[in-house]
Amino acid sequence: KIELFSSMGIKENGIDLDPQEIDSTPIVKFSIVELNKLAQLYYPKMAIIQLQKKISKLKIAIEKAERWPKFEIQFGLGFRNTGLKGFDKFEENFEETNWEIAASGFFRITFPIYSGGAVSAKIDAAINEYNKIVYQERDILLNLQKQIRIDFRK
């Protein structure tokens, strides 16, 4: 029961199965094209490879973004001591009258001037990984279609 639900991709919801004796199995009334479409939709390896393909596209976009300038903004809000005393009057440093609210902020812009080819190499590596995943997807799809054709003849 657990193997059946896991192979179907269903979480066990307390469903009870009552197996029955069947004299003959029904004939599948789908064409090879329809079976291929169903297999592409529900075959777990296809779903995994398609997610890997999306992730790989995002990696390419991230690596390409390294060419552009980066702009950072930071803001801070806190308290500042306006009358810092020495060691002889150390307790006065903590009096409320010595503190005031202080705000600060800054921004920074960094320009990638020279990367020594590192950015281009990272982009090329990300594209290479994407191409590998595309070939894996094609291989899985061809093997899936071949298996459907073999099983369809039976």
pLDDT number for residue 132: 97
Q: Using CB atoms within 10 A of its CB, is residue 85 exposed (0-12), middle (13-18) or buried (19+)?
A: middle
pLDDT at 153: 72
Show pLDDT as tens, one digit a residue, over the chain (154 residues).
777 777 777 777 777 777 788 777 777 688 888 888 888 888 889 999 999 999 999 999 999 998 889 999 999 999 888 777 777 777 777 777 778 899 999 999 998 888 888 889 999 999 999 999 999 999 999 999 898 888 777 6
Which helix (H) or strand (E) segment holds residue 13: the answer is none
Residue 63 in contact with residue 43, Cβ under 8 Å?
no
Query: Where do the H-state alpha helices sit in the chain?
Result: 2-8, 32-42, 44-65, 118-153
